[in-house]
């Protein structure tokens, strides 16, 4: 299975959800990291890194 740019938000969301279930106090940090990742993906920054 090849991971494409379309899969990255789904993978990040899955990891964030699991972390929130395990440690609810991480909610602020997880949401912040998620929003930063989605913003970088939306801006196309990850394309420059060939991800």
Maximum CA extent, the chain: 34
Give me the number of domains the chain comprises: 1
Residue-averaged pLDDT of the chain:
77
43 is a domain residue: yes
The parent domain of residue 15 ranges over: 8-48
3 is a domain residue: no
Residue 17: phi and psi, rounded to 5, are -60, -40
19 is a domain residue: yes
Of the pLDDT bands very low, low, confident and very high (cuts 50, 70, 90), residue 48 is: low
2 is a domain residue: no
Q: Is the pLDDT of residue 41 over 60?
A: yes
23 is a domain residue: yes
How many DSSP H helices and E strands does the chain contain? 3, 0
Instruction: Please tell me the pTM assigned to this model.
Output: 0.52
Q: Is the pLDDT of residue 47 over 80?
A: no
What mean pLDDT comes out for the span 21-45?
A: 81
Q: Percentage of the chain with pLDDT > 70?
A: 78
């Amino acid at each position: 299975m090849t991971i494409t740019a379309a899969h990255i938000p789904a993978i990040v969301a899955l990891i964030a959800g699991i972390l929130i279930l395990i440690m609810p106090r991480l909610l602020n940090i997880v949401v912040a990291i998620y929003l930063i990742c989605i913003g970088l993906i939306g801006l196309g920054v990850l394309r420059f890194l060939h991800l």
